[in-house]
Structures are given as C-alpha cells and as structure tokens.
Amino acid sequence: MVKQANPETATFARNLGLFDATMLGIGAMIGAGIFVLTGIAAGEAGPASLLAFALNGGVTLITAFAYAELASAIPRAGGGYAFVQMAYPGAMGFVSGWMLWFAYTVACSLYALGFAGYFWEFFHRYLPGFSEVVFSLTGEHGAILLVILLIGAGFILLNYKGSKVTGAAENVLTVAKLVVLGIFIYFGLVEIFRTPTESVACLFPFFPKGMGGVLIAMGLTFIAFEGYDLISTVAEEIKDPEKNIPRATFISLGVTMVMYLLILLVALAAIRPEGITSWEYLGKYQETAIVRAAENFMPAFGVALIVFGGLLSTMSALNATVLAASRVGFSMGRDKWLPQLMSKIHERYHTPHVAIVVTGVIFLLIALSLPIAVVGSAASLMFLLTFAMVNLSLIMLRRRMPEIERKYRMPLYPYLPIAGIVLNLYLAVYQFKFQPAAWYVAIGWVVCGLMLYYTVFKRQAGLEEPRVIVPRTAEIGKQEGKAVVVALSNPDSVEPLLKLGHAVAKARELRLVAVSVVEVPDQVPLQDGMRMAHHKRALLKGAERAAAKLGIKMETDVVIAHRVYEGIFSALEHQRGELLVMGWKGYSNARERIFGEITDHIIRYVKADLMLFKPGEDPGMRRCLLPTAGGPNARMAAMVVDALSKQYETKTTVAYVVGPGASEAQCARGRESIRKTVDQPGLTMTYSEKVIESDSVASGIAKSGRDYDLVAIGATEEPFFRKMLFGEIPEKIARFSPTSVLVVKEYEGAVKSIVKKAIG
C-alpha cells in the first residue's frame, strides 16, 4: 500500500533557524548603507547625525513590530508586497508591489555607485598608476560609470544563471563585515579615550544645521535600516516562524542600531582634520568618508581592511537587492500585475530571467544617470512610503481577518501602527526639501504604474480576493512515528533503494517514506517551486509502481528547497527520519568538495543513520560480502545485512583482510573483528567467514566483491583531515568495484540504542 503525497501540495524546506534569519537581517542592514551614507548624513546634520540615526532606529522599530506580526502570522514569500496585497487587493496592492520593486531596484543603483567609489579608492591608494591611466582615457565620471556597468552586468548575469552562495557562506560574510567594522570602532574608541577633551569638542555645536538638517539626514539615510524586512520575504523558509521571525527581526535591528551609532560616533569624534570640522570633513568625501576617517586613527592595515570591507559590503548588498527586486517583479508577473512574461522561468537555469534582466536594466539606467545623493534619497523615500503602507495593512488585516492566529502581536495597537504611518509619511514628505528630484522620480514612477494598472493590469488580473495561505500544523510540524527516509533522484536506482529502505524499516518497525527534492534557485520563492515539481512527481509515481510490484508499504513526499541537501534535511526533520537511504556515484572529487557537493553536505551534517548505495552492474542482493574491522559502523552494517537476509534471504559472507603471509595472531585479530561485528542481540543471519589476503585493504575487498551482488561496508573512523567522504577505504571500494556497494554510517550511538531495544 502506498500513501501518496497530495499532488497539489508539497513540503517547503524550512532550513533557516534563528541564527540564519538574524544574520540575513544584519547582513542586509550592515552593508553598503553605513559605508556609503555616513559621510552624506554627517554633511547634512553635523554631529546631530547621531540623533538622526537614533531616531531612524525608533521609526524603523515601529514598522519592525508590524513586520514581525504579519510575517510570523502569515509566513509566505513576498514580504511587504504580500501583506499590502492581502489587505488592499486593488490599486493600492498593485502600487505597493510597484513601489517595492522600484525601491529595491533603486537600492541596487545606490550599492553599485558605492562599489564604484570604493573600487577606485582602492586603486588610487594601492595601484595609482592604473587609475591614472584609466582616468586619463575616460575621465573620472567615465571611469565610475564603467565600473558601475561592469559590476551591475556581472551580478545580473550571476542571478540570471542562478548562481548561489550557500547560507553558511552568507553568514560568514556577515560576521566578517561585523569584525571589520568592530576593528574600526575599536581603534576609534582608543583615540577618543586617548584625547577625550578634543573628542568631545568635535561633537559641538551639535546642531550646526538645526533640526531641519536632522530630518533631512533621517530621510536620506533611512535605507540604511532597510534589510530586516528581507526576513519576511523568506518567511516560508524559517523554522518555527511564530517565534523566530519576531526574534530575528528585533535582534538584527538592535545589533545594527548599536553598530551604526558607534561607527558614526568614532567617525565624528576620533578625527582631527586641519581647518575644518570633522563633520564637514566627512561630508566632503561622502561615500568614501569611512575610509578617510580610518586614515586618521587606524594603522595602514586598518585602512586597507575598511576599503576591502566596503567592497565586500557593497557587492553583497548589490547581489541581495538584485535578487530581492527580481523576486518582487517575478511575483507581480505571476499575479498578472505586470506582464506575465516577468514570471517566465528559464528552461535551463530555472530562474525568473526576464524579471532579472528588466530589473537590471532599470537599476543601471538610474545608476548611470543620477548622482548618488539623489539615488540614496529616492531609495529611502520609496521604502518610507512602502513601510507606511505595511503599517496600514496591519490595521486592515486585524479587522478583515481576525481569524488568523497571531502568536506575536504588535504592542500598543492601534497607536503604534498609526504612529508608524504618520512618521514614515512625514519623513517622506520632508525629503522634498532636500531632494525634490527624488520626489519627481517617485511621483513619475507611481503615476506611470497607476496608468498601466487601470489600462492594462486591472483587466488582466481581475480583482479576485487573495487567498490567505497559512500552513497547517501538520505541514510545518513533524509526522507521527519515526521513519526510514529514502531520497530519490535517479529513476534507475529507485527499486534497489526501496528494497534497502523497506528491509531496514521492517526490521526496526519504522515507516518508509520516499522523498524527492525539487531544487529551486534562490531567485525564485519556494512557493513557486510547485511549477517545477512535475518531473519529481513523475519520479515518485515510478516509485509507487515499484513499491506496488514489490509489495512494499510506503509513503511519498515532494520537498521544495533552494538546495537539495536542505530539502533532504527538512524531510528528515518533518518525517522524523531515523535513517536516510540515498544513491551515490561512489566518489567525490576535490573540486566538488570545495564547493559543497550534495553528498558531502549530507555526510558531514546529517542527524540520522546513513546508507549510501552505489549500484553496480547487477543491483541484486542475493549474495553479500560484509568486510569488517570490528568498528561501530561495521556493526551497524551487519544489522542492515541481517535485515536484508530476513527480507530477501540474502546469503552473507563476513570477511576480514590480512596481508600476504599473515601470522596466526593477525588472523586471530581478524576473527575477533568478525565476532565483534556479528555477535549482537537480535541478529539471526547465518553467514560464512572469509579471509582476504591482500597488500591493500581496499583493493582486496574490491577484487573479492566481484563474486558477490553487494558489498556492505561500514564507514571507517579516520581523522577528519584524512577523510574523503566515508573514509579512504570505502570510497576506493565504491569507486573501483563493479559490484553494488553499500556504505553505512551510524549517528551518535544508534547501534547501542537498537541493541538496547532488541534486548528488551
């Protein structure tokens, strides 16, 4: 009997924990904004730019409460656009997506401009000859435009092809940025405490341009606090979203707030420029002000570190916002609020390539045609307006959809969301005094969008009430009863994998679940992976037919994930997997290990017993060779072979390897290894013994294995630096043996628990 997965549903891989979600928010906020906008803010507000950042933090916190409630209650992709669309499914919902798409796109322009500034700062400082030659040929402005074009085209191409950085690498990059800025803060504080009187004097007069300068700086730098909202855009990927989304939102905002204030404080108070105030000095150098400040109190390596940090931050922020912007454009195309071509998926790369290219063209045009102050102001303006709409949506959804379970609720409702609306709109309106051009760009974009909406997209999409998709407990919780999970990817190995999984599941009295993972590029929300699931459903249909032929009771599940190994880990957690069975090509080459092969990730991080099967020329199981050295993994391999013998009457030969002309003592140790392996409670298989004489353990087993259908071997326990995957010996056997090879690895004393269960 086969219990099938619902053909219209799938399990989303919730692989992001609290730390991952927090790093996502911190990485998005502590990035290009602080490097690029610190000098501009100081130039507009003087030392009161400290107050501007603090007040921005307070204003942002109000909207963060709204995001925390909405994203934890309705964990679906899309973030602010999804929430406003649900609350106001007509023109306002369209405008929210239209503006958010543009906001992210303008942010891309800002980060590209910032990268160009740090790029040429690096060459001016360390390779001046190169920059002089380029500037003489293109001029300073032309050189900046050239870098913008190259870096922009590069990241458009990366996203077009679906290139991805693993979550672990993103976390490392975020921590690296924190370390770089922490070093900057440390040297700055040392200088401040060394000369406290002069440092305090740098902060006065505190309001050189009055409160108006503070408000201008607030509006201009608001984009530096944009980023925590990205947590809500991946809400469907976060574990325990009701708890982790609010926590990650507030932790990331708190860490960012402290870092921003300390960075700005040391930049203002730790430098001593001649004939000019510190804030005027920072304002003069604008996007490279942090580097100029570092020159005053950091050693040479520190300045290089800041330049490198600026390049890293602007690149990572640019990549993240290209991805975020194209996701919004793709989602709007899917909802028929943009041309449906925007939701087209590339046949080869499976990315929303049209949305990526259109987004890239727009952000390059903006970056190439507008100065950085206008771009920064326009980006902040768009986010201010979008955040006001999110607060308004929270109020509307509380009234229209009270039935949605909200485990986290915004405090002081409705006063806080109303305050958020008023403050965001006030700062947005005040932007006009500083950068009218930003408002002209924003108004032109919104008017253009509304014209398109009423003439084209309203009729195209209709005004159907959006359906609120709230995952049921069964979908996000764990299944009843533990399971053997069989991960399927190759139709040719389905039957032997099911036979292996079934034998062990029956012996351990566990459920058998066949799982297939749909890998979705980072550029596509998980919920849209359903469009790519048809070939995996066909694979599971084949598994169902094979199970029916073999008389195997089995369940099936489709998992949608951004990485295959994340999908497998998610399936193990969801299905309460005690053992994972999957196919293996038999080896892993060095390049793939460096970049993270799927099997490599599984072996290193899986929290379950593991069986990897490499099919041979005849994937039968009539005769099995069980080589052993007596280790715990060999004992587990014996349990697996015992299960096969009970289910399929497999005839087993237990072997050990000795060198040519081995002494009796060596042979005795071999026989002792066999006894350690097979003398276990619950094992009932009959077996014969064999001595293999060979100079090489792996070669001897591989040659002897030719007379058998299956070689079952436990992973060797070798030091980490000597390991390949399961150890050198099993990998060599799997690579060179023409026979099917099964490599077994136990997880944290699983054999002991099974023996204890068998005893009583």
Residue-wise DSSP of 320-352: HHHHHHHHHHHHHHHTTSS-GGGGPPPTTT-S-
Q: Rounded CA gap, 348 and 366, in Å?
A: 30
Confidence of residue 755 (pLDDT cuts 50, 70, 90): very low
Q: Helix, strand, or coil here: 705? A: helix
**CA 663 to each of CA 222, 541, 676: distance values in angstroms, whole numbers, following the listed order:** 78, 55, 20
pLDDT in tens, 313-355: 888 788 888 888 888 888 888 888 888 899 888 888 888 899 9
How confident is the model at residue 65, as a pLDDT? 93
How confident is the model at residue 166, as a pLDDT? 52
**Average pLDDT, rounded, for the chain:** 84
Residue with tokens 């940090």: 309
Vertex 573, ends 569 and 577: CA angle to 5°?
A: 95
601 pLDDT above the threshold of 90: no
Residue-by-residue DSSP string for 260-303 = HHHHHHHHHHS---TTS-HHHHHHHHGGGHHHHHHHHHS-HHHH
Amino acid at site 447: V
- Would you give the distance in Å from CA 107 to the centre of its chain? 20
How confident is the model at residue 752, as a pLDDT? 47
Q: What share of the chain is helix, strand, coil (3-state, %, to 5)?
A: 65, 10, 25
How confident is the model at residue 539, as a pLDDT? 87
Tokens representing 351?
Answer: 């990315």
Q: Which of 187, 402, 426 is nearest to 301 (CA)?
A: 187
Amino acid at site 165: V
pLDDT in tens, 262-320: 999 999 999 988 889 999 999 988 878 888 899 889 888 888 888 888 888 888 788 88
Task: Answer whether 581's CB lies under 8 Å from 611's CB.
Answer: yes
**CA 8 to each of CA 15, 529, 530: distance values in angstroms, whole numbers, following the listed order:** 22, 12, 8
What is the maximum span of the chain, computed from C-alpha positions, in angstroms? 94
* 471 class by beta-carbon count within 10 Å (0-12 exposed, 13-18 middle, 19+ buried): middle
Residues in the chain: 760
Tokens representing 259?
Answer: 């870092």
Tokens representing 318?
Answer: 């640019």
Tokens representing 485?
Answer: 């999970």
Q: Rounded CA gap, 351 and 329, in Å?
A: 12
Tokens representing 593?
Answer: 């290990």
In this prediction, residues 722-735 reach a mean pLDDT of 65
Residues 6+ apart with CB under 8 A from 474: none
% the chain with pLDDT above 70: 90
How confident is the model at residue 535, as a pLDDT? 73
Pairing of the two strands 2-3 and 511-519: unpaired
Q: Rounded CA gap, 476 and 96, in Å?
A: 29
Q: Which of 82-86, 167-171, 548-552, 680-684 has the lowest mean pLDDT?
A: 167-171
Torsion from C-alpha of 379, 380, 384, 387, nearest 10 degrees: 70
722 pLDDT above the threshold of 80: no
DSSP 165: -
Confidence of residue 595 (pLDDT cuts 50, 70, 90): very low
CA dihedral sign of residues 442, 448, 451, 452: negative
Residues 6+ apart with CB under 8 A from 372: 36, 40, 110, 113, 114, 117, 286, 287
Q: Rounded CA gap, 700 and 705, in Å?
A: 8
How confident is the model at residue 466, as a pLDDT? 43
% the chain with pLDDT above 90: 31
Residues 6+ apart with CB under 8 A from 107: 223, 226, 317, 321, 325, 379
Taking the CA atoms of the chain, what radius of gyration do you get in angstroms? 30
Tell me which H or E stretch contains 623.
strand 623-627
Pairing of the two strands 11-12 and 554-561: parallel
76 pLDDT above the threshold of 60: yes
Q: Which of 446, 437, 317, 323 is nearest to 375 (CA)?
A: 437
Q: Rounded CA gap, 393 and 396, in Å?
A: 5
Task: Encode 227-253: b = buried (16+ Cβ within 10 Å), e = exposed.
Answer: bbbbbbbbbbbbbebbebbbbbbbbbb
Task: Answer whether 514's CB lies under 8 Å from 554's CB.
Answer: yes
pLDDT in tens, 528-554: 777 777 777 788 888 999 999 889 999
Q: Helix, strand, or coil here: 442? A: helix
For the entire predicted model, the pTM comes to 0.78
Q: Helix, strand, or coil here: 12? A: strand
Domains and their CATH numbers in the chain:
1-17+472-583 (3.40.50.620), 31-461 (1.20.1740.10), 616-760 (3.40.50.620)
Which residues make beta-bridge pairs with 570? none
Residues 6+ apart with CB under 8 A from 604: none
Task: Answer whether 264's CB lies under 8 Å from 50's CB.
Answer: yes
Phi, psi (rounded to 5 degrees) for 295:
-60, -30
Return contacts of 678-681, CB within 8 angstroms, 24+ apart.
678/638, 678/654, 680/635, 680/638, 680/639, 680/751, 680/755, 680/758, 681/755, 681/758, 681/759
Q: Rounded CA gap, 222 and 231, in Å?
A: 18
Amino acid at site 43: G
Q: Which of 374-378, 611-615, 707-711 has the lowest mean pLDDT?
A: 374-378
Tell me which H or E stretch contains 625.
strand 623-627
Task: Encode 45-66: b = buried (16+ Cβ within 10 Å), e = exposed.
Answer: bbbbbbbbbbbbbebbbbbbbb
499 pLDDT above the threshold of 70: yes
Q: Rounded CA gap, 719 and 712, in Å?
A: 22
pLDDT in tens, 164-202: 655 566 777 788 888 888 999 999 999 999 999 999 999
> How many CB atoms are closer than 10 A to CB 756?
11
**CA 540 to each of CA 516, 526, 537, 590: distance values in angstroms, whole numbers, following the listed order:** 7, 20, 5, 32
Q: Rounded CA gap, 700 and 724, in Å?
A: 20
